[in-house]
């Protein structure tokens, strides 16, 4: 009895498994095309305490500190590896939410540092304490802490 059919079946199954796993994502992060890489890097490292994971003259990969890493990348609009798009990010149609344990403490710290706060600390009825900043590219950064919503707030949004 030949082992060829068994080997062929193994190779076929192995190839199929590789194809299936090809779309198993390894990571995800937003890359913002920017006109001012230096100012963007300074914003994320100074105000949000992101750390540089990788830096080149045309690309910066940033990560937050702590157990749950949040990643953001920045790319110079003039670099040839920038994908075809609508040009540098202008802040419209997107925002970045960073969830924290204590929004008031982060707000107080940034306010003392004279951070460019665009939306001041507020307790929202839907269940958040939040404030916001706008990065040099116009991207709104929403700093939030999840809390219980005001009683009955979500009742108005129940499916009918």
Which tokens in the block code for residue 13? 């199954």
Query: What would the mean pLDDT of 97-125 be, rounded to a whole number?
Result: 97
Residue given tokens 């709104």 in the structure block: 140
The pLDDT value given to residue 8: 47
Instruction: Identify the band that residue 113 occupies on the pLDDT scale cut at 50, 70 and 90.
Output: very high
pTM given for the model: 0.78
Instruction: Identify the band that residue 84 occupies on the pLDDT scale cut at 50, 70 and 90.
Output: confident
User: Where are the chain's structural domains?
Assistant: 25-79+88-153
Q: Which fold has domain 25-79+88-153?
A: 2,3-Dihydroxybiphenyl 1,2-Dioxygenase; domain 1 (3.10.180)
pLDDT at 120 over 70: yes
Q: What is the mean pLDDT of the chain?
A: 87
CA-closest candidate to residue 42, choices 32, 50, 34: 50
The pLDDT value given to residue 27: 82
Q: Helix, strand, coil shares of the chain as percentages rounded to 5?
A: 25, 30, 45
The pLDDT value given to residue 38: 96
Higher pLDDT, 27 or 54: 54
Instruction: Identify the band that residue 20 occupies on the pLDDT scale cut at 50, 70 and 90.
Output: low
CA max distance for the chain: 80
C-alpha span between 2 and 7 (Å, rounded) = 10
| Phi and psi angles of residue 44, each rounded to the nearest 5 degrees, phi first | -70, -35
pLDDT at 102 over 70: yes
pLDDT at 115 over 70: yes
């Amino acid at each position: 009895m030949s082992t060829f059919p068994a080997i062929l079946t193994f190779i076929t199954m192995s190839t199929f498994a590789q194809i299936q796993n090809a779309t198993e994502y390894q990571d995800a992060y937003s890359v913002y095309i920017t006109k001012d890489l230096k100012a963007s890097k300074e914003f994320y490292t100074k105000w949000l305490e992101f750390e540089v994971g990788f830096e080149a003259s045309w690309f910066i990969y940033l990560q937050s500190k702590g157990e749950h890493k949040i990643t953001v990348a920045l790319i110079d609009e003039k670099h040839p590896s920038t994908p075809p798009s609508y040009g540098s990010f202008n802040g419209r149609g997107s925002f970045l939410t960073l969830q924290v344990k204590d929004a008031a403490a982060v707000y107080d710290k940034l306010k003392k540092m004279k951070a460019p706060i665009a939306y001041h600390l507020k307790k929202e009825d839907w269940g958040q304490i939040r404030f916001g900043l706008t990065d040099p590219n116009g991207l709104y950064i929403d700093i939030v802490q999840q809390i219980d919503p005001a009683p009955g707030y979500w009742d108005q949004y129940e499916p009918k």
